[in-house]
A and B are shown apart, each in its own frame.
Chain A
Amino acid sequence: MSSSPLLEMLHITKQYPGVLALDDVTFDLYAGEVHCLVGENGAGKTTLIKILSGALPKDVGELRVNGKPVFLHSPADAFEAGIGIIHQDFKLVPELTVAENIFLGREPCRGRSPFIDFEKMREGARAVLAQLGESLDPRARIGTLSVAQRQVVEIAKSLSGKNRILAMDEPSAALTGKELKNLFAVIRRMQEEGVGIIYISHRIDEIFEIGTRVTVLRDGKHVHTCKTSEADRRGLVSWMVGREMDQEYPKVRLQRGKEILRLENLNGGKLRNIHLAVYQGEILGLAGLVGAGRTELARLIFGADRLENGRILLDGKEIHPHSPRDAIDAGIGLLTEDRNRYGLIMEMSIEKNITLSNLKAVSRGGFIQGEKERGAAQQFAEELRIKTPSLDREVSTLSGGNRQKVVLARWLFTRSRLLLFDEPTAGIDVGVKYEIYNLLNQLALNGKGVVIISSDLPELLGLCDRIVVLCEGRITGELSREEATEEKIMLLATSVVDMRGHRDDREA
């Protein structure tokens, strides 16, 4: 750390129409350190990484690698300068093999011929993977790998050159317990090799576990940089949101009311013999590993997948949701995981996304009444504090947290009695998370049924009155707020796996 920095980004400024995305930000990175980058969505982390990756030009500022100024006009330039980027959504081709992906775009050829030297490519891939402590078959197709394995390939891909700088944008978002440990092991190994790593995450625990230093950005400005050993959780959060947070998980305890939803012996997809009840006044959590069937269960209740048999009772009456429409009409809402893929219509305006599921309420005889629609959208946008210059803007112009608020607004507007939230805070910054937690409490208070699926265990423990754990499509246990701990949940979440011996979640 005493030597000169590997990377320096000096006084970087970037202006978007209407927004100053980065305002005189300076950031540096030394060999062998993990420099964490934190901040709320819209704080400028992604913009900074994009500039580093050559995908976006900076307006003002200077970049130096090993003390020498570099000019990045394209991702190829960045690669040339020894900078590797791992994006949130992997850029791998599922139809190609591990080796082909790692060498995509710079395949080794036989001499000067146009023919790929597959042997050399496989050897190269094997070497890089070994460096990461992984023994993946270079000939395996990406499509057959688990999310965690794909991530390793992604890392290998960005390291296979002479890259000494690696930026990882939310690498942990899709990972659970063991996989995360594995990732950290890989990161530590790279650290030993002298690679400098920029690590972006919303999970504060991870920063303390893996980070050497941490830099906080807020509203495009540099707020604070310090060693992680010198920071604490409370301090970090207050730097990020710009104010003191009294508690991370606000919790309102309520009296459990009458039963809203009852599932009797539900079967469908990978789910087997599901019995479950949801009550008024409580927040129910669904825990489990990725691929345990939590999302499938929500989709089954919502009519998005086909139910084989079993009964779904809403307020004591049996319902038969054959499609999401049926479920919505019955009073059920599902906030899907991956809002960009399954939640939002990117090309449509914020307003139109909010009213999409309940257009009937703002139209007469098939015709949408403009003022009514605007009124409804305005009401929920204000209620949820969606930050935007205008509701007519395309939803794609919003940051992750605000996008999630748009989907939330949609489901609030349908006035559903039962709301299912699948990873409602994934990839969302602390401030908005807090708002969402308050909203969930508010919904429970108003007598709605609230079910949360989350891979973030502290979140579940902090919010839920009751946690039901799934494993391999079956319910393996139920824990009350008082008895639940991370260890107990993980034990239940892996119980079937242990009985049957080790299994990957490859089908996920």
Chain B
Amino acid sequence: MRYNEKVLEHYRNPKNVGSFDEQAENVGTGIVGAPECGDVMKLQIQVNENNHIVDARFKAYGCGSAIASSSLATEWIKGKTLDEAKQIKNTDIASELALPPVKMHCSVLAENAIKKAIEDLQRKKAKDNNK
């Protein structure tokens, strides 16, 4: 596969690699994909008391575009509110990275990982409020 420079840059120097404590109250974790399909992404968000995403982390098992899509996703969501982050579409990621059609699913995974991380955080907060 011939990749464009943006994918290569994220692949070579991925942003926000790592993990937060999954148990922390201000952390939401989204894990999507399947090893049998060749892609697994873990994306985590950390929020402040105003529900602004102050930091993000990812780990990805998958091809170069899977790594680039998740690296880009973490860059984009930092500083956004949860509602703003939810608006990020896979097509935005795909067009920023100029992904070919056969790699579109990588951007879909990144979008889903963001949504799952937000859902996870909101579930934690709801539980908290019910205490």
A, B bound = no
Residues of A within 8 A of B (CB): none
Interface, chain B (partner A; CB < 8 A): none
